């Protein structure tokens, strides 16, 4: 049980780190760009929010399956397929969680008075420096809030994970999947315990993040 | 040439800006009603708005030249800006705001921050947040921040718009003394004749995106 919870935490945690690393710069880019490409990119990133998880999983399966270029490259490099590994579970959680951060961070970046960034430019700062020292601190609340939502989504990820990572006990099975398996197998006490732990864990992390973000 | 020479055509949305003037005065005021294109002119000089055509030269240094494809980024222009609302960084204290544009060792930066804080008489408030300060104090910090990296030119956008009228006269005098001491070239944008009269040696009058007159303070009328 401890093993299952730790694995879930690790998968959701790694996915959330990747979401922040990719999503924050991406949100900043979208916040200041207008036009067809920006709209298209924005729609593409938000798509996992509205697609059925099974469709998302199917698309990912096409992209990283053993027959795909990504899957083949991975297999050539590591000697084993990407599908049905913990890495695939991280990927599923990442794709499902990314839109939550991007939406929140983009709106936080859009709300920054452009004069702050303009002043920083006239003070000799590079765009990267401005991003790190002005934009991120000023959008901090939105970023932290978005990251908390993304983490919650990653912990709860089910459909896409089932399709590309499967539910291999001790390897790719996360708490959300374990609940389903336990119910299917008639182990209702197990299901209840996992559900309770999952809820408590997610809620306490959200609570902690909320407290830090509010300061 | 010594001074600032601007001759640009710019466009933002429907607004069409066509501005040409030269000045070698220490303090020049761009005077005109709101909507005259004063702030756009200022943005173009600072490098925050790219003109369609023309040239901007500051003390012999070309900041923008369309035919020669020169367009120095804002960070390389050595043109400081003080915006109307001051845009003090809310996540930084007074000292960090003043020092934001400084490079070099921590000791050097500290020394320059101290020097400027003393100049604007706020050296006892270095750790304050701007929300704890009055409008006049915020303005002085914004000016100190713009002056810190030793720019060649400082642009002031409606410096007294956010201050109540009773304070304005006193702040104008303070600003005049400060600018004289620091010896930096200043371009001031204002719709207020009194600002131009109190601070500027030279006046550029703008209306509807065009310069309608350039001359001494007598142009400020009143």
Query: Of A116, A118, A124, which has the smallest distance from its Cβ to B48's Cβ?
Result: A118
Query: From CA B197, how far away is CA B57, in angstroms rounded?
Result: 26
Q: Which domain holds residue A35?
A: 2-214
Q: B50, B78, B91: which to substitute to probe chain A, counting the most A Cβ within 10 Å? A: B91
A122 and B CB contact within 8 Å = yes
Residue A86 pLDDT > 70: yes
The domain that holds A94 is classified in CATH as: 1.10.3720.10
Residue B112 lies in a domain: yes
Confidence of residue B8 (pLDDT cuts 50, 70, 90): very high
Name the phi and psi angles at A177, rounded to 5.
Answer: -75, -35
- DSSP labels for B105-161? -HHHHHHHHHHHHHHTT-TT-TT--GGGS-HHHHHHHHHHHHHTT--SEEEEESTTT
Give the model confidence (pLDDT) of A116-168 as tens digits: 999 999 999 999 999 999 999 999 999 999 999 999 999 999 999 999 999 99
Q: Which domain holds residue B140?
A: 93-148
Are B72 and B47 in contact, with CB atoms under 8 Å apart? Answer: yes
Residue B205 lies in a domain: no
Percent of chain A with pLDDT over 90: 83
Give the model confidence (pLDDT) of B100-149 as tens digits: 999 999 999 999 999 999 988 888 999 998 888 988 889 899 999 999 99
Q: How many structural domains are present in chain A?
A: 1
Residue B51 lies in a domain: no
The confidence score (pLDDT) of residue A164 equals: 94
Are B80 and B153 in contact, with CB atoms under 8 Å apart? Answer: yes
Query: From CA A71, how far away is CA A64, in angstroms rounded?
Result: 5
A contacts of B158 (beta carbons < 8 Å): none
Q: How many structural domains are present in chain B?
A: 1
Closest by Cα among A71, A76, A96 to A155: A96
The confidence score (pLDDT) of residue A186 equals: 95
What's the mean per-residue pLDDT of chain B? 92
What's the mean per-residue pLDDT of chain A? 92
Give the model confidence (pLDDT) of B43-79 as tens digits: 999 999 999 999 999 999 999 999 999 999 999 999 9
Residue B140 lies in a domain: yes
Residue B131 lies in a domain: yes
Percent of chain A with pLDDT over 70: 99
Task: Decide if B103 and A113 are in contact by the 8 Å CB cutoff.
Answer: no
A contacts of B80 (beta carbons < 8 Å): 122-123
B contacts of A119 (beta carbons < 8 Å): 81, 83, 87, 145
* B7 beta partners: B20, B55
Complex ipTM value: 0.92
Residue B220 pLDDT > 80: no
Residue B188 lies in a domain: no
Residue B101 lies in a domain: yes
């Amino acid at each position: 049980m401890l093993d299952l919870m730790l694995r879930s935490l690790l998968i959701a945690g790694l996915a959330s780190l990747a979401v922040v690393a990719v999503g924050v710069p991406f949100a900043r880019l979208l916040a200041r760009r207008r036009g067809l490409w920006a709209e298209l990119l924005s729609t593409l990133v938000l798509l996992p929010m509205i697609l059925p998880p099974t469709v998302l999983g199917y698309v990912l399966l096409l992209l990283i399956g053993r027959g795909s270029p990504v899957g083949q490259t991975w297999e050539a490099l590591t000697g084993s397929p990407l599908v049905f590994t913990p890495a695939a579970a991280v990927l599923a959680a990442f794709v499902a969680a990314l839109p939550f951060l991007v939406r929140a961070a983009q709106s936080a970046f859009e709300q920054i008075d452009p004069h702050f960034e303009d002043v920083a430019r006239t003070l000799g700062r590079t765009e990267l420096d401005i991003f790190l020292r002005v934009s991120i601190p000023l959008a901090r609340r939105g970023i932290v809030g978005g990251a908390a939502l993304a983490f919650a989504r990653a912990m709860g990820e089910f459909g896409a994970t089932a399709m590309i990572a499967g539910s291999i006990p001790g390897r790719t099975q996360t708490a959300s999947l374990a609940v389903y398996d336990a119910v299917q197998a008639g182990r209702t006490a197990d299901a209840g315990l996992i559900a309770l732990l999952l809820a408590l864990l997610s809620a306490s992390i959200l609570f902690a993040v909320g407290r830090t973000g509010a300061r | 040439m010594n001074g600032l020479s601007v001759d640009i055509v710019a466009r933002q949305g429907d607004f069409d800006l066509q501005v040409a003037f030269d000045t070698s005065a220490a303090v020049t005021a761009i005077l005109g009603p709101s909507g005259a294109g004063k702030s756009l002119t200022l943005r173009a000089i600072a490098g925050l708005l790219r003109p369609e055509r023309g040239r901007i030269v500051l003390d012999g240094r070309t900041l923008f030249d369309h035919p020669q494809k020169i367009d120095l980024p804002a960070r390389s222009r050595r043109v400081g800006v003080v915006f109307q609302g001051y845009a003090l960084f809310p996540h930084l204290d007074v000292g960090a705001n003043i020092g934001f544009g400084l490079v070099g060792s921590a000791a050097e930066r500290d020394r320059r921050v101290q020097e400027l804080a003393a100049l604007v008489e706020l050296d006892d408030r270095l750790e304050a947040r701007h929300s704890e300060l009055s409008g006049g104090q915020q303005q002085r910090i914004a000016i100190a921040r713009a002056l810190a990296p030793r720019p060649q030119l400082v642009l002031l956008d409606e410096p007294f718009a956010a201050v109540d009228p009773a304070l304005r006269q006193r702040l104008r005098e303070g600003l005049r003394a400060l600018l004289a001491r620091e010896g930096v070239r200043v371009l001031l944008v204002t719709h207020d004749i009194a600002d131009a009269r109190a601070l500027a040696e030279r006046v550029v009058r703008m209306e509807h995106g065009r310069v309608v007159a350039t001359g001494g303070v007598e142009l400020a009328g009143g």
